[in-house]
Amino acid sequence: MERILHALFAKHGPSDVSNRHYRKKRPEGEGRRTRSSAPLYCPFRISHSVILPKEFLLPEHNNNCRPCVDYLRISITDRCNQRCFYCMPHGDVPLFQHSEILTYEEILTVVTAAVKTGFRKFRLTGGEPLVRKNICELIRGIVAINGVEEVVLTTNGALLEKMAPALADAGLRRLNVSLDTLNPLKFRKITKSDNFYRVLRGIETARRVGLNPLKINMVVIGGVNDDEVEDFGRWAIKEALTVRFIEYMPIGCRHCWDAAKLVAVDAIRRRLERVATLQPLERRASDGPARRYRLGATEGEVGLIGAVSEHFCRFCNRLRLTPEGKLRPCLLSDEEIDVKIPLRAGCDERTLIDLIQTAVGAKAGHRAPDLRGEQRVRRSMSRIGG
């Protein structure tokens, strides 16, 4: 704790590079080409060709090279113990009934089908995933599924101090902790909570119990916290952390986002260059949309995620599952495929696999909308799972 606080207020203040290669698009004739029929429960019909290589489903795509879609982000709740103004802007946000959200058993059924579709990495998120009871049970269940390579989590960190040891024990590998400011007063303004020091202690505990490399997520918002980018860079150096700077996206709240608050990754990069030289790191398929840099010759690393200013569709390797059981092929598009209705109607695994393949296929050729104009994503991030 002392170390972290010292780093926070001191102004001067290696990651796993195992390469999962991008899968080259196969020439015609190689791999098994199949036409995915629109399944019974699909709310919209998507009909397109997909290529099934040996073990992964590889969507057809215009680019010569793209990662396979093998990463599922699962939002296990839309509830949260904070109220970040950019995510849950109104005090009283409508919440799903408990009966509406997928049970752990249902989630495990989807994960099992996803593994058979080629998914290997699973992230639990929310809302705040740590407020859902018995999350360790779910983690244990996912880890036990044959073929699952990694279970990770995104959290606001408020409950981490208490829960990190049990999470590690359940088989969680790594964590992303969201922290948008290093100033306790600003933290209260952003999150409407007094969790600042809890989050810092949570980060320290998580690292101590081996949930490494721990990544910090900072959403950079003009006029709110963009003046702290350099501080986060220094913190990354001092604590050998990875900080991921995320552009502020027009998601959920129709009125609170405006283009003037967008700080593009180019501007973030220029700020970080005042702290250290940015050494580009080789892109791994598992990086998804993040561009990674080492800070000078230090152990500090940063990732830049240009969700709005850059089109990163071709690097996107993920699907999302919402708390009430909708598969979302793209964060920035409101297209969804329901898996809860078929699940609760007792569908077989083949149907689930078809639905997942349809969602993967929907990514092919998809291009995210340009969000710098009037376009907004309707669902809030807490209901999608960021």
Among 77, 117, 154, 181, interactor with ligand SAM by CB under 6 A: 154
Query: Can you list the alpha helix ranges (DSSP code H) found in the chain?
Result: 2-9, 104-116, 135-143, 160-170, 184-191, 196-208, 229-239, 265-273, 340-344, 349-363, 381-384
Among 20, 23, 83, 132, interactor with ligand SF4 by CB under 6 A: 83
Task: Examine residue 381 and tell whether it contacts ligand SAM (CB under 6 A).
Answer: yes
CB of 331 to ligand SAM, least distance (A): 10
Task: Examine residue 128 and tell whether it contacts ligand SAM (CB under 6 A).
Answer: yes
Among 67, 118, 127, 329, interactor with ligand SF4 by CB under 6 A: 127
Is the CB of residue 67 less than 8 Å from the CB of residue 22? Answer: yes
Cα(243)–Cα(225) distance, integer angstroms: 14
CB of 177 to ligand SAM, least distance (A): 7
Q: Which of the listed partners (ligand SF4, ligand SAM, none) does 155 bind, with a CB threshold of 5 to 8 Å by partner kind?
A: ligand SAM
Element spanning 89, H or E: none
Among 42, 68, 69, 80, interactor with ligand SAM by CB under 6 A: 80
Q: Which of the listed partners (ligand SF4, ligand SAM, none) does 337 bind, with a CB threshold of 5 to 8 Å by partner kind?
A: none
Q: How many residues bind ligand SF4 (CB under 6 A)?
A: 13
Site map (CB under 6 A) of ligand SAM, residues 236-275, x = contact: ----------x-xx-x------------------------
Residue 187 or 293 with smaller CB distance to ligand SF4: 187
Give the residue among 68, 158, 160 at the shortest CA–CA distance from 114: 68
Task: Examine residue 102 and tell whether it contacts ligand SAM (CB under 6 A).
Answer: no
Task: Pull the structure tokens for residue 185.
Answer: 């007063």
3-state helix, strand, coil in the chain (%, to 5): 30, 20, 50
Is the CB of residue 199 less than 8 Å from the CB of residue 177? Answer: yes
Residue 128 or 161 with smaller CB distance to ligand SAM: 128
Cα(54)–Cα(52) distance, integer angstroms: 7
Give the residue among 216, 181, 227, 229 at the shortest CA–CA distance from 85: 181
In this structure, what is the dihedral angle of CA atoms 197, 200, 206, 212, given to the nearest 10 degrees? 170
Contact set for ligand SAM, span 209-228 (CB under 6 A): 217, 219
Among 126, 141, 300, 325, interactor with ligand SAM by CB under 6 A: 126
Q: What is the DSSP string of 131-179?
A: GSTTHHHHHHHHHTSTT--EEEEEE-STTHHHHHHHHHHHT--EEEEE-
CB of 83 to ligand SF4, least distance (A): 6
**Cβ neighbours, 10 Å, residue 19:** 11
Contact set for ligand SF4, span 51-80 (CB under 6 A): 80
Q: Which of the listed partners (ligand SAM, ligand SF4, none) does 125 bind, with a CB threshold of 5 to 8 Å by partner kind?
A: ligand SAM
Q: What angle, 0 to 180 degrees and rounded to 10, lies between the N-to-C axes of helices 196-208 and 184-191?
A: 100
Residue 86 or 122 with smaller CB distance to ligand SAM: 86
Residue 78 or 354 with smaller CB distance to ligand SAM: 78
Residue 27 or 94 with smaller CB distance to ligand SF4: 94
Q: Which of the listed partners (ligand SAM, ligand SF4, none) does 88 bind, with a CB threshold of 5 to 8 Å by partner kind?
A: ligand SF4
Q: What is the DSSP string of 44-87?
A: S---EEEEE-SSS-EE--SSSEE----EEEEE--S--S---TTT
Contact set for ligand SAM, span 165-184 (CB under 6 A): 178
Cα(316)–Cα(329) distance, integer angstroms: 10
Residue ranges in contact with ligand SF4 by CB under 6 A: 80, 82-84, 87-88, 126-128, 156, 178, 381-382
Residue ranges in contact with ligand SAM by CB under 6 A: 80, 86-87, 125-126, 128, 154-156, 178, 217, 219, 246, 248-249, 251, 381-382, 386
